[in-house]
Amino acid sequence: MTISYEKFNLKEVINASGKMTILGVSKVSENVLAAQRFGGEHFFEMSELSIQTGAYLAKLLKVEDAQVVSSASAGIAQSVAALIGEGSVYHAYHPYTDKVTKREIILPKGHNVDYGTPVEVMVEQGGGHVVEAGYANMCTPEHIEMMITEQTAAILYIKSHHTVQKSMLSVKEAATVAQKHKLPLIVDAAAEEDLFKYIEAGADLVIYSGAKAIEGPSAGLVIGKKDYIDWLRLQGKGIGRAMKIGKDNILGFTQAVEDYVKNGSESGESMQARLTPFIEALNQIDHIKASIVQDGAGRDIYRASIKVTGAKSAKEVIQALKAESPAIYTREYQANNGIIEFDIRSVNETEMNKIVTRLTEIMN
């Protein structure tokens, strides 16, 4: 059976928006596909598969333990439930019971963002109650500390380009507050590229997306203290049952992490080299001024940024890029300012040429 866009009446997509869930996030390698195929063609004791792949990943990442979950969002919900339940089977069976009252999860106000769903939805799914600390434009260690009560179960820190970047405490500062008050710190680092720095900074649980920087299949990863990971695994008897991950993706993701640790991701220098001819071609188009910009959250990621002038607005150009096949998806966050960004991590030279051709047609 041949799989094609035409079979399902789908548009081809050029993903110049980055590692985005709405587009399927990433492409996977032949190595990962082979691991997924092995998983799909064999049976396993699933509890052992979970434990042993976790132990293998923990050794690779130099942490106490690890658990593969279905997504980074599932990682948030299950981490919250784990730290509220503290290993109680009764709680796993009754995650929203009134018998457990220690449910407050402290979150910097500027981190309570919508990344496709609001952070607080995942916290509430895990049975937690969000307590915002600080203000939209500032959160200090003191702001976190003043919100701690006897009902505080954990502190949650979101490391993401979606969050407020200025005047925010660091992960290390959040860890210092957590340690002072003997509270666990969860760091959601879904799209981050460094698999070591947040544990090293003092986080107790760190959550990554499987399909973003790591370029694995649909999955998530939670790493950290062994007791907390044990409590997280227990959620499979409760809310985690609705978030279970298949054997093929567990093995494919484990292979993706191994490859990622060994090979890393594309360097910023390489991105800038690939962007240079693309920028030159874009600057030949009427009513467009193009330049190379770095990721707003400071990651070693470089993108093409175009300023749209003339009769058409940036929003109109964005819609026109999506309208045909291939549908070209971009980063739209600054469209109100007339700016469109192109993330080329998943875009090859042929696709860049298609983008230039389409933009030329749209702007003329």
DSSP string, 69-113: ES-HHHHHHHHHHHHHHTT-HHHHHSTT-TT----EEEEEGGG--
The Cα–Cα gap between 139 and 89 comes to: 36
Please state the pTM of the whole predicted model: 0.83
pLDDT at 189 exceeding the cut of 60: yes
Locate the domains of the chain by residue range.
Answer: 6-23+266-363, 44-263
What number does CATH give the domain 44-263?
3.40.640.10
pLDDT at 20 exceeding the cut of 80: no
Q: Hey, do 6-23+266-363 and 44-263 end up sharing a CATH topology, with the first three levels equal?
A: no
Facing residues of 328 across strands? Answer: 14
Q: How confident is the model at residue 24 (pLDDT cuts 50, 70, 90)?
A: low
Mean pLDDT of 244-248: 96
pLDDT at 94 exceeding the cut of 90: yes
Encoded amino acid at 72, one letter: A
pLDDT at 265 exceeding the cut of 90: no
CB 363 within 8 A of CB 317: yes
* Edge-to-edge order in the sheet of strand 220-224: 65-69, 220-224, 205-209, 185-188, 152-158, 104-108, 129-133
Lowest mean pLDDT across 24-38, 156-170, 238-252, 328-342: 24-38
The Cα–Cα gap between 183 and 187 comes to: 13
pLDDT at 238: 97
Q: Does domain 6-23+266-363 have CATH number 3.90.1150.110?
A: yes
Q: How confident is the model at residue 154 (pLDDT cuts 50, 70, 90)?
A: very high
pLDDT at 288 exceeding the cut of 60: yes
Q: How confident is the model at residue 137 (pLDDT cuts 50, 70, 90)?
A: very high
Q: How confident is the model at residue 6 (pLDDT cuts 50, 70, 90)?
A: confident
pLDDT at 258: 96
pLDDT at 26 exceeding the cut of 70: no
Encoded amino acid at 131, one letter: V
CA distances from 149 to 130, 157, 182 (A): 13, 18, 12
CB 69 within 8 A of CB 78: yes
Encoded amino acid at 83, one letter: L
Q: Which residue in 106, 103, 97 sits closest to 128, CA to CA?
A: 103
CB 111 within 8 A of CB 157: yes
Mean pLDDT of 228-256: 97
326: helix, strand or coil: coil
